[in-house]
Structure 1
Amino acid sequence: MKNFFPSQVIVCVIALFTLTLPVSAQNPNATDEYKETLKKIMELSGTAATTDDLYPKMLSVMKLNAPGKDDAYWNEFAKGWKEKIENRVIEICTPVYKKHLTLEELKAVAAFYESPVGRKYKESSLAVMREAMPLLVQELQTEMFKEVRPDMDKQMTENKQAMTEYEQKRKRDKELYSQAYMLPKDSIVVVPGKVYKNGMSTTPSLYSIERRKNDTKVTFAQPVYWDSQWLYYSPGFKIIDKESGDEYNVRGYDGGASMNKLLTVEGFNHKYIYISLLFPKLKKSVKDIDILELPHAKDKELLPSNDDGKAKSYFNVRVKDYQVSSRKKNKKVYF
């Protein structure tokens, strides 16, 4: 560890004392009265208290240079050196002050500090410094940063804007989650033999297509990768007949769950569950289709900020490859 020499601190104390009193020319007048008057001024002005503040710092520096000494040693050391420092400061400062102030002028200064105005000045000065210095330091630092970093204002504005946007998104997400529909556990069917592992695709896979009497049921195997997770299937989903171009717009979730709010699921971490959407009945001639999740106005209202932006779209699907009969029994999502 680097050694510190305490005389540098003493020089700082002396320099501080020299700023305490006004300056004027005079003839030398070295007397004990001068020293006593100077000491009195230091006490009245609060300058002597500076020694009390600095002495512990000086002592801590000395302790760093002599780590083997115990507390008893330093207590005795402190008693002796506190008085030595005070006397040394007076001895050093007296001839310097004599060059600039006469004894009479020094007495006038002492009289000022003893007066009501002087006492108030001392108290006010300390209060002003306590209040003003932090403001001054902050202002100077800001100005320095502006000079060193001209782009700082722009960066601070951008950071503030980003923080505001983050808070807005966070507030909106909380509202969406609080209004979300929690899927009842007894209505959820787990895809057998299928396990989600970290790093695998989070996009649902197409599982089955069921032609029914009044509609078409499309079922997806939805991966669940958190213990508590939100799900969203856009009202923009549609089936497009590859041959005719006919479109079949989604009607909603199987079982009647609303597409106007998020779905949430809990307790199925690292599993796959069935999620089914209902579409209008496909014509018998429909063989090849695209199942697309196209943008919808509701997306902006319902999607949380952590959405990955990936649409769930399935191209060139042969209906017969996924077709199942109505005898396949799955539990439904009830609203």
Structure 2
Amino acid sequence: MRKSWILSALCMILLFASTTTITAQEPDKAYRESLKKMMVLSGALATVEDMVPRIMNMLKQQYPAVSEEFWTAQSAKWSTLYGEKLVDIYAPIYKKYLTLDELKQIVLFYESPVGKKLGEVTPTMAAEGMQVGQQLSVEMMTTLQEEIAAQSK
């Protein structure tokens, strides 16, 4: 009888533990889905997914002997995978600073007319911002190199 009671108690504990684990994973799934939706609506996902063809082109130049079929297959694979992995990587970072409710409120903003517009133009603005950022970096490095050279004399 005692053995049966212990076995029943153990089963209840295991059942409770597995239910708790499943329940604990649901908010993470909900958070990830909300984050992905926000990244899609904000244009952030499109911006980073635009990097895949650039990375492939850079690698093509480094490895010219590799077949075009390989690059086509890899581009197709990474076009989807890159964004999914990025959402997985960003989720714990966002979760440190934003609650699920806050993330849902941000999604609501991006579903508004002005939010939709911002989401549509974000990839273009980001590309333009990268170009001017690179120009500013070159200007800064050139100026610093000149000042270092002047101090060295």
TM-score between both structures, scaled by the size of structure 1:
0.30
Q: State the match for 2:93 in structure 1.
A: 96
Matches within 5 A, 1:60-79: 60-79=57-76
Contact 1:35 1:90 survives alignment (8 Å): yes
Contact 2:35 2:91 survives alignment (8 Å): yes
C-alpha displacement of 1:36 = 1.2
Higher share of residues assigned strand:
1
Matches within 5 A, 1:219-238: none
Which whole-Å CA distance do the structure 2 matches of 1:127 and 1:60 have between them? 20
The CA deviation string for residues 121-173 of structure 1, in whole angstroms up to 9 with x for no partner, is 44566676648x749957x949x759947xxxxxxxxxxxxxxxxxxxxxxxx
The CA deviation string for residues 64-123 of structure 1, in whole angstroms up to 9 with x for no partner, is 443322112211121112212111111111111111111000000111111123224445
The CA deviation string for residues 234-284 of structure 1, in whole angstroms up to 9 with x for no partner, is xxxxxxxxxxxxxxxxxxxxxxxxxxxxxxxxxxxxxxxxxxxxxxxxxxx
Which whole-Å CA distance do the structure 2 matches of 1:69 and 1:81 have between them? 17
C-alpha displacement of 1:52 = 2.9
C-alpha displacement of 1:33 = 1.5
- SS of 1:67's partner is coil
Larger Rg: 1
From 65, 77, 80, the equivalent of 2:77 is: 80
C-alpha displacement of 1:50 = 1.3
Q: State the match for 2:109 in structure 1.
A: 112
Q: 1:146 to 1:102 in 2, by over 3 A?
A: closer
Higher share of residues assigned helix:
2
Contact 1:43 1:49 survives alignment (8 Å): yes
Q: 1:34 to 1:65 in 2, by over 3 A?
A: same
Amino acid aligned to 2:83: E
Q: State the match for 1:264 in structure 2.
A: none
Structure 1 residue ranges, 4+ long, deviating more than 3 angstroms after superposition: 120-131, 133-138, 144-149
Which whole-Å CA distance do the structure 1 matches of 2:48 and 2:123 have between them? 15
Q: 1:125 to 1:71 in 2, by over 3 A?
A: closer
| Unaligned ranges ≥5, structure 2 | 1-25, 148-153
Q: Percent identity?
A: 31
Which whole-Å CA distance do the structure 2 matches of 1:74 and 1:137 have between them? 30
C-alpha displacement of 1:47 = 0.8
TM-score between both structures, scaled by the size of structure 2:
0.61
C-alpha displacement of 1:54 = 0.8
Which whole-Å CA distance do the structure 2 matches of 1:121 and 1:86 have between them? 19
Matches within 5 A, 1:1-335: 30-122=27-119, 130=128, 134=132, 137=135, 141=139, 145=143, 148=146
- SS of 1:31's partner is helix
The CA deviation string for residues 145-204 of structure 1, in whole angstroms up to 9 with x for no partner, is 59947xxxxxxxxxxxxxxxxxxxxxxxxxxxxxxxxxxxxxxxxxxxxxxxxxxxxxxx
Q: State the match for 1:217 in structure 2.
A: none
Aligned residues, how many?
119
Amino acid aligned to 1:115: S
